[in-house]
Structure 1
Amino acid sequence: MHSLPFVGKHDAAVDDKGRLSIPAEFRNALPSDAQRHVVLTVGSSDFINVFPVDYFNAFYAPSENDTANFALDDSMDRDMVLLTEAAVRPIDAQGRVTVPGNLLKQANIGREVVFFGRQKFFTIWNAEAFQSRMKSVSLSKAEAWNMLTDKTKGKGQ
């Protein structure tokens, strides 16, 4: 797995060909063996998830139960929702990725976007939707740190 996290917020614009320049900080955080491809998937609202290939494969790797039950409806439904619209896209020499039109449409993305780092992956948001979501967050910084601390308690013991 990669060692540099995807963090921060970066404003950008979609060009006329549907390409986005991935922020240099995010390009540098991609693992060297996968720097030329990313997996793009639908988000749960007005954003697109962007995963390094290795993280997507590890995240989406089936458990033993999934392997035994690969044909069950729940598994099939999940895959239909998440993978039907997914795409593996190369990153060109200028650090740009072409986002499929269907993903841009589903995320209501026009010209202005926000890249938002989520540690092991990043998201591409409709800029207005990102600002709206930020304004609606009622979690204080102290509460956010406490959530993270609670999550990590007990590790290494």
Structure 2
Amino acid sequence: MHARDLMVTDVKTVAPDDDVADAFKRFARYPFSGFPVVDDEGRVVGVVTESDLVDLFEPDDETLWIPIGLPPFVDTLTYQIKPPWGDLDLGVDMVRNADRPISDVMSTDVVTVTPETDVDEVLDLLAGDDPDINRVPVVDTDGTLVGIIARQDIVRAFRDRRLD
């Protein structure tokens, strides 16, 4: 069994110059947690996931670190304070990031396979130690997207083989 036997060829994608608002619409419309990002020639240039977009609304700089020195101690104690206004900032963050291009938030280190890749290699990728790999784009020799394999596609294929 090879990647071509498992892949779905009707792949929903986004473009690098699509904006964050477009990606949110796609996530609302389709039951996927990530989309390949393809250029004008159909080559995979990245992947954007729901967690990439969630990260836009959980900035690291939202936490205040306050050093407090207590005499006669020379060292200071540092306390973390999470401001309660975080929920109010969500709408502001959405407006601020809505026009931001996907190319700013996508992952560019994309793991891909070819249609001839053995199913064992695909399994190793999807069941490996990297929790961020939930789908594998299938590309031809020049990097053009021809399909995608998600974890559920592998489970479905093995289930179907058992039933045959």
The interval holding the TM-score normalised by the smaller chain is under 0.3
Could you state the TM-score of these two structures normalised by the residue count of structure 1? 0.25
Which entry has the higher C-alpha Rg, 1 or 2?
2
